[in-house]
Structure 1
Amino acid sequence: MSATGSTDVVAAVPARDLARLTLLGALVGLPAGLVAFAFVGAVHLLQELLWTDLPEALGADEPPWYLLLGLPVVGALLVAAARRLPGDGGHSPVDGLSMEPLPPVAAGSVALAALASLGFGVVLGPEAPLMALGSIVGVWVTRWTGVTGRARGLLGVSGASGAMSTLFGGPLVAGIMLLEAGAGALTAVTLLPPLAAAAVAYVLVTGFGDWTGLPMAGLAVPDLPEYDRVRPGSLVLALVVGVAAALLVTGVRRLARAVQATEPRVGRVPLLLVSGLGVGVLALAAEALGADPRDVLFSGQSSVPALVSESSVGVVLVLVVAKALAYGITMGGGFRGGPIFPAIFLGVGLASVAVAALDVSPTLAVAVGTAAGMAATSRLLLSAVMFSALLVGRAGLDTAPAAVIAAAAALLTVRLLDRPRPA
C-alpha cells in the first residue's frame, strides 16, 4: 500500500485516552461496517443486473459483444460525472492505496465513481473506495464525540480499517496493513482502536451477508486440495512467480502513468471513454482467443477459482495479458477503485501457468500468486503473506514458506525497479 499522506495523524496517544479511543473505535466499526455492506452489496447487485439479468432479458446466455463494448463506456460517462462533484471521485489508483483522509462532502463522489467503475466492468477492486468511505464515516462519527486533533485522525483511520476488514478476511490483515504502511504513525498500542473497529465491522458484515445471501468475502477459492508438505521445487516456483509478478505489475503501472499523462492533451472525458472502450475491446479479443471475457473484466476476485482450474496454458496466458493491459488502461484512464485485487489475479495467473503446464498444486498457486501480486502492488510484505495464508486456510498451511519467498522476491524486485537510474 503506497500509503500517501496522513503520516502525521497520530504521533502519540496518551495512555489514559487509549481505552476511550478503543471504545470509540468499536463504535466507528458499526457504521463503517454498514457502509461497507451497503457498498459491496450495491456493487454485487449492479454487476448481476448489468452482466447477468440484462443479457438474459435480451435473450442471450452470455453478455453480447455490444454490452462488452458499451457498458464500460457508459461507466466512463458516469465516472466523468462523479468526478465533477467535490472529491474528484476519490484518490487515483495509479500510485497505490492512499490513507490521506477525504472530507465528508466527498462521499457521494467516491461512491458514484466507484460504483460506475466496478459495476460496469473495468479492472479495479473495491478496497480503495471502501477505505475512503470508511475513513469519512470515522471522521463524521467523531464529530459527535468531542474528539479533536490527532485522536480524530486515529478514529478516521479506524473507519478505514473497519471497511478494509470486510475484504481481507477479518481485522488482522487490515491492522497489519495499517501498521506496515505507517498509516498515522501507528504503533502496536495505537492499533487498538483500528483493530476494534475492524473486528466489529467484520462480524457485523459477515452476519448481514449470511442473512441476506450477499457474498461478502474479499476473495474465496473453494475446495482447494490439501498441500501437505514443502517441496524444493515450490520454493523455486515462488521465486520465479514473485519476480515475474513484480515485473508485470511494474509494467502495468508504467502503462497507467503513460495513459494518465495524455489527459491534458485529450481531455478527461475523451480519455475515460477511450479507456472504457479499450477494456471492452480487450475482453472481446480474449473471447476470440478462447477465454471468458468476464474474466478479463472486473477486479478478478470471483475469477480466481476458474483461473487456477484452467487446463490450457494458452488460455491462462491470454487472460494474464488481457487483464494486465485492461488493468493499466483502467488505472490511467481516470476510473476509480483499488489496485490490489487485479494484481492478485495477475499473480495467481502467473502461478497458474505452472498448474496447467506442470500439474503444480492449485493451492500452492493461489498462495504464491496472491502473496506475489499483493506485495508487488502494495509494497507490503507481512500483509501479503498473511492474506495469502488466510486465503488458502488449513489446506495450505505448508504453503507459507513459498508465500514468504514469493512476496519477498516481488517486493525486492519492485524496489529495484523503482530505484532512480544514475544520471
Structure 2
Amino acid sequence: MSAAEPELPQPTVRSLVLLSIPAVVIGVVSGLALWAVDELAALIERGVWTSLPAALGVDPSSGWWIAIVLTVTGLAVGLAVQLLPGHAGPDSATTELVSTPLRVGVLPSLAVATVLGLAGGVSLGPENPIIAINASLLAALVGRLWKAVPTRLVVLMAASGTIGALFGTPVAAALVFTGIVAAVRGGGALWDKLFVPLVSAAAGSLTMTALAHPSFAIPMPAYTHVTGWDVLSALIIGSVATGIGLLAALVFPAVHRTFHAVRFPVLMTLAGGLALGLLGAIGGPITLFKGLSQMSQLVQNRADYTVPALLLIVVVKLIALLVAAGSGFRGGRVFPAVFIGAAVGTLASALVPAVPVPVAVAAGVMGMTLAVTRDGWIAIFIGVAVTQNLLILPILCLAVLPTWLMVTKAPVFLISPAALKPTSPRGAGGAAR
C-alpha cells in the first residue's frame, strides 16, 4: 500500500460504528479462509508424509523420500503456475504482505499453488498468498454488497483480519499497520485510523483461535531476572541474526535470476523442488515446511542436537528459503525466517550455555525477522511471542536499535516487479488487474 494512494476520509464516531459491521464480517471470513487453506494443506500433508509412506512401508524421514516428495511438489506447483488460469498470480518474490488486489480469476490457481507448496514441505509460509487471496476476494465482494466502503479500506481490513488470524492476536496487525498508517499523509488520531482494521483483526484472530488455536509460543526454561550480560548477549545474537538475513537478501537477486533464466515455470519449480529435496535430505525433516511446529520441536529438543548439527540446520534452512522464494513457489518469507532466527538463537545458547535460552531465541528471531520484514514492531512482537515472557520485551527494545541501523541502507529481501521478465509466452506472472 503506497503513501501516494488517495487518502481515506477522516473517520467519525458514526462511520467507525457502521464500518465495524463489515469489519467483523471481513475478519471472520479472513480467518475462515486461512483455516481452510491450512486444513487442506494439512490433509494433503498427512497423506503424502504419513499415510502414503506407511502404505508403502518406507521411512518418510529418509533422504530419498524427502527428495522425491519435494521434486514432485515442484513439478505440481510448476504445472499449476504454467497451466491454470491466472498462473497463480505474481511471483511471491516480488510481493509484500499487503499489495494491490488481484483479479478474482487469478485466486483459484494461487490457492492451488500455495496449498501444494505448504503440503509438500516447501520452506515458505502462507502469509503473502492468503493475504492476497482474502484482500482480492473481499474487495470484489464488498464492492458489490457495500459500495460505500472504499476498496482500499477493504484491503486493509482483509489484511488485518488475516494477519490477526496468522499470529493468533490482533496486536500483530496493529503493529504492522502502524507503519502503514504512519506513511499516509493527513491528520487525525492514529487509533481512529486503526480502529476498523483492528476490529477486523480481532474477528479474524478469534475465528482462527476458535478453530485451530495457532501459537508461536515455545515451552522454554523460566526466565525471571534480567542482567546486563543478557542484554549484551541479545545485542550480539540479534546483530548476528540480522547479518545472516542481510547476507541472504544480498544473494537473493542472483538466486532469483538463476532460476528465472529457465524458460518454462514448470521446469523452474521442478528444479527448485529438486534442490529443496536435496537440501531436505541433508538437513532432515526439521528443515522442511514453513517451520512453525519445527521451530518448537528444535528448541524443546535442543539437547539432542550438537553444535555442528544446529549450524547445518541454519545453513540448510537459509538456502532452502532462498531457493523456495527464488524458484517460483508461492508463499511468504516470514515463517521460515522466524524458524531460522530461532535456530540461530538455539545455536548461540549451545555455544555459550550461560546465555538463557529465551533471550537467545528471542534475539535470534527478532534479528532475522527484522532483516526479512524491515518492520521493527513486528520483529519485536514475534520475538516476545515465541517466549511468552514480558521480561524479554525491554531487552529486545534495546537489541533492535543496532539491528535497525544495520538494515536501514541494506538490500531488501524482495525482487522488484520491474526486474522480473516473463519466463514464457504463457507467463508465470498472472498479474494484478
Common fold: TM-score over 0.5 = yes
- Among 231, 239, 262, the alignment partner of 2:227 is 231
Judging changes above 3 Å, is the alpha-carbon distance between structure 1 residues 398 and 345 closer, same or farther for their aligned structure 2 residues?
A: same
Q: Please say which of residues 405-414 and 236-245 is displaced more in the overlay.
A: 405-414
Residues 125 and 340 of structure 1 are in contact (CA less than 8 Å); yes or no, is this contact kept in structure 2? Answer: yes
User: What is the CA-CA distance between 1:270 and the residue it aligns to?
Assistant: 2.2
1:200 aligns with 2:193: no
Q: Secondary structure at the match of 1:63?
A: coil
Residues 376 and 407 of structure 1 are in contact (CA less than 8 Å); yes or no, is this contact kept in structure 2? Answer: no
CA distance in 1, matches of 2:398, 2:286: 27
1:378 aligns with 2:380: no
Matches within 5 A, 1:229-268: 229-263=225-259, 265-267=261-263, 268=265
User: What is the CA-CA distance between 1:228 and the residue it aligns to?
Assistant: 0.6
1:30 aligns with 2:28: yes
Judging changes above 3 Å, is the alpha-carbon distance between structure 1 residues 275 and 143 closer, same or farther for their aligned structure 2 residues?
A: same
Instruction: Give the structure 1 partner of residue 420 of structure 2.
Output: none
Task: Tell me which amino acid in the other structure corresponds to 2:375.
Answer: L
Judging changes above 3 Å, is the alpha-carbon distance between structure 1 residues 281 and 196 closer, same or farther for their aligned structure 2 residues?
A: same
Unaligned runs of 5+ in 2: 413-433
User: What is the CA-CA distance between 1:23 and the residue it aligns to?
Assistant: 1.9
Matches within 5 A, 1:141-290: 141-148=141-148, 151-182=150-181, 185=184, 187-209=190-212, 216-221=213-218, 223-263=219-259, 265-267=261-263, 268-286=265-283
CA distance in 1, matches of 2:16, 2:7: 12
Q: Secondary structure at the match of 1:188?
A: helix
User: What is the CA-CA distance between 1:247 and the residue it aligns to?
Assistant: 1.9
Residues 110 and 132 of structure 1 are in contact (CA less than 8 Å); yes or no, is this contact kept in structure 2? Answer: no
User: What is the CA-CA distance between 1:378 and the residue it aligns to?
Assistant: 0.6
User: What is the CA-CA distance between 1:6 and the residue it aligns to?
Assistant: 7.8
- Among 288, 309, 318, the alignment partner of 1:297 is 288
Deviations 1:102-152 (A, max 9, x none): 222222022111112111111101111221122123213312333257x22
In percent, how many aligned pairs have the same letter? 28
Judging changes above 3 Å, is the alpha-carbon distance between structure 1 residues 156 and 18 closer, same or farther for their aligned structure 2 residues?
A: same
Instruction: Give the structure 2 partner of residue 413 of structure 1.
Output: 406
Judging changes above 3 Å, is the alpha-carbon distance between structure 1 residues 9 and 142 closer, same or farther for their aligned structure 2 residues?
A: farther
User: What is the CA-CA distance between 1:194 and the residue it aligns to?
Assistant: 1.4
Deviations 1:388-417 (A, max 9, x none): 223322xx2211122223333333212232
Residues 97 and 127 of structure 2 are in contact (CA less than 8 Å); yes or no, is this contact kept in structure 1? Answer: no
Residues 317 and 353 of structure 1 are in contact (CA less than 8 Å); yes or no, is this contact kept in structure 2? Answer: yes
Task: Tell me which amino acid in the other structure corresponds to 1:247.
Answer: G
Judging changes above 3 Å, is the alpha-carbon distance between structure 1 residues 155 and 13 closer, same or farther for their aligned structure 2 residues?
A: farther
CA distance in 1, matches of 2:396, 2:41: 30
Judging changes above 3 Å, is the alpha-carbon distance between structure 1 residues 342 and 181 closer, same or farther for their aligned structure 2 residues?
A: farther
Task: Tell me which amino acid in the other structure corresponds to 2:170.
Answer: P
Task: Tell me which amino acid in the other structure corresponds to 2:411.
Answer: D
Unaligned runs of 5+ in 1: 210-215, 287-292
- Among 38, 60, 73, the alignment partner of 1:40 is 38
Q: Secondary structure at the match of 1:8?
A: coil
1:60 aligns with 2:52: no
1:355 aligns with 2:349: yes
Residues 271 and 333 of structure 1 are in contact (CA less than 8 Å); yes or no, is this contact kept in structure 2? Answer: yes
1:306 aligns with 2:302: no
Residues 75 and 273 of structure 2 are in contact (CA less than 8 Å); yes or no, is this contact kept in structure 1? Answer: no
Q: Secondary structure at the match of 2:302?
A: coil
Judging changes above 3 Å, is the alpha-carbon distance between structure 1 residues 184 and 231 closer, same or farther for their aligned structure 2 residues?
A: closer
Residues 246 and 373 of structure 1 are in contact (CA less than 8 Å); yes or no, is this contact kept in structure 2? Answer: yes
CA distance in 2, matches of 1:63, 1:191: 45
User: What is the CA-CA distance between 1:239 and the residue it aligns to?
Assistant: 1.6
Instruction: Give the structure 1 partner of residue 9 of structure 2.
Output: 12
Task: Tell me which amino acid in the other structure corresponds to 1:11.
Answer: L
CA distance in 2, matches of 1:120, 1:183: 38
Judging changes above 3 Å, is the alpha-carbon distance between structure 1 residues 136 and 407 closer, same or farther for their aligned structure 2 residues?
A: same
Instruction: Give the structure 2 partner of residue 290 of structure 1.
Output: none
Deviations 1:309-351 (A, max 9, x none): 4231111100000111111111111111010111111111111
Judging changes above 3 Å, is the alpha-carbon distance between structure 1 residues 26 and 399 closer, same or farther for their aligned structure 2 residues?
A: same
Residues 256 and 330 of structure 1 are in contact (CA less than 8 Å); yes or no, is this contact kept in structure 2? Answer: no
* TM-score, normalization by structure 1: 0.87
Judging changes above 3 Å, is the alpha-carbon distance between structure 1 residues 132 and 320 closer, same or farther for their aligned structure 2 residues?
A: same
Q: Structure 1 runs of 4+ off > 6 angstroms?
A: none
RMSD (Å) for aligned C-alpha atoms: 2.4
User: What is the CA-CA distance between 1:265 and the residue it aligns to?
Assistant: 3.1
Judging changes above 3 Å, is the alpha-carbon distance between structure 1 residues 143 and 133 closer, same or farther for their aligned structure 2 residues?
A: same
CA distance in 1, matches of 2:3, 2:46: 36
Instruction: Give the structure 2 partner of residue 137 of structure 1.
Output: 137
CA distance in 2, matches of 1:182, 1:176: 10
User: What is the CA-CA distance between 1:183 and the residue it aligns to?
Assistant: 8.9
CA distance in 2, matches of 1:390, 1:270: 39
CA distance in 2, matches of 1:13, 1:190: 8
CA distance in 2, matches of 1:400, 1:408: 13
CA distance in 2, matches of 1:5, 1:227: 41
Bigger RCO of structures 1 and 2 (CA < 8 A, at least 6 apart): 2
CA distance in 2, matches of 1:7, 1:322: 40
Residues 118 and 125 of structure 1 are in contact (CA less than 8 Å); yes or no, is this contact kept in structure 2? Answer: yes
Deviations 1:250-286 (A, max 9, x none): 2223333212213453223322111111111112223
User: What is the CA-CA distance between 1:86 and the residue it aligns to?
Assistant: 4.5
User: What is the CA-CA distance between 1:163 and the residue it aligns to?
Assistant: 1.4
Task: Tell me which amino acid in the other structure corresponds to 2:216.
Answer: L
Instruction: Give the structure 1 partner of residue 330 of structure 2.
Output: 336
User: What is the CA-CA distance between 1:369 and the residue it aligns to?
Assistant: 2.0
Task: Tell me which amino acid in the other structure corresponds to 1:189.
Answer: D
User: What is the CA-CA distance between 1:56 and the residue it aligns to?
Assistant: 1.7
